[in-house]
Amino acid sequence: MTKHIPVRTMADVKEPLVLFLIGMRINTFWRVWEWLPSFLAMGPMIVELYKNPELGFLSARTEMAGRTITVIQYWKSFEALEAYAANSERKHRPAWTAFYKRATSGTGAVGIFHETYVIRPGEVESLYVDMPTEFGLGGAIGTKPVTSKSETARERKG
């Protein structure tokens, strides 16, 4: 990430987009052979997405909290996300199929999850102070300065 910028900014949401959370939880640490394939599958997918912007992917970052790993992704649309997930020529579909086969015969050593949220102009609020320009929603779509008309969260939302 770049150096932080010392001004207050907010995400410049001009059209709908998608926030997609996907991750895994290691339920049994010692069963490495069961959870490691899921852990290793995400990296190549993210590389593929960054290399192919026409797929509709905007950006991602990974967060770790205890035994849970979450990849926070921003997409241009739900349709773009859905098309990528279903495309057997891309990295996601084969990885999902392999996980599902392991999960149905496994011990529950790893859990996976995803959540999808549609973000619409006027229905989201953000604020960045002393943060790198490529962080979060603002990093995915760009930011604009906070002005006297966008001082509060309510004003930034609407």
With a cut of 80, say whether residue 101 has pLDDT above it: no
Give per-residue pLDDT as tens, 30-71.
999 888 888 888 999 999 999 999 999 999 999 999 999 999
Q: Under 8 Å CB-to-CB from 109, ≥6 apart: which residues?
A: 26, 27, 28, 31, 34, 35
For tokens 């998608």, the residue is 18
Query: Considering the domain 17-119 in this protein, what is its CATH number?
Result: 3.30.70.100
Please give the residue that has the higher pLDDT: either 102 or 138.
138
Contact 158, 150 (CB under 8 A): no
Tell me the mean pLDDT in the region 92-118: 83
Give per-residue pLDDT as tens, 1-32.
577 878 899 999 999 999 999 999 999 999 99
| Mean residue pLDDT across the chain | 91
Residue 116 phi/psi, 5° resolution? -125, 130
Q: Where are the domains of the chain?
A: 5-12+120-157, 17-119
Residue 21 phi/psi, 5° resolution? -105, 125
pTM reported for the whole predicted model: 0.88
What's the Cα-to-Cα distance from 95 to each of 62, 91, 99, 145, rounded to whole Å? 18, 6, 6, 41
Helices (H), the chain: 32-51, 78-86, 92-105, 136-141, 153-157
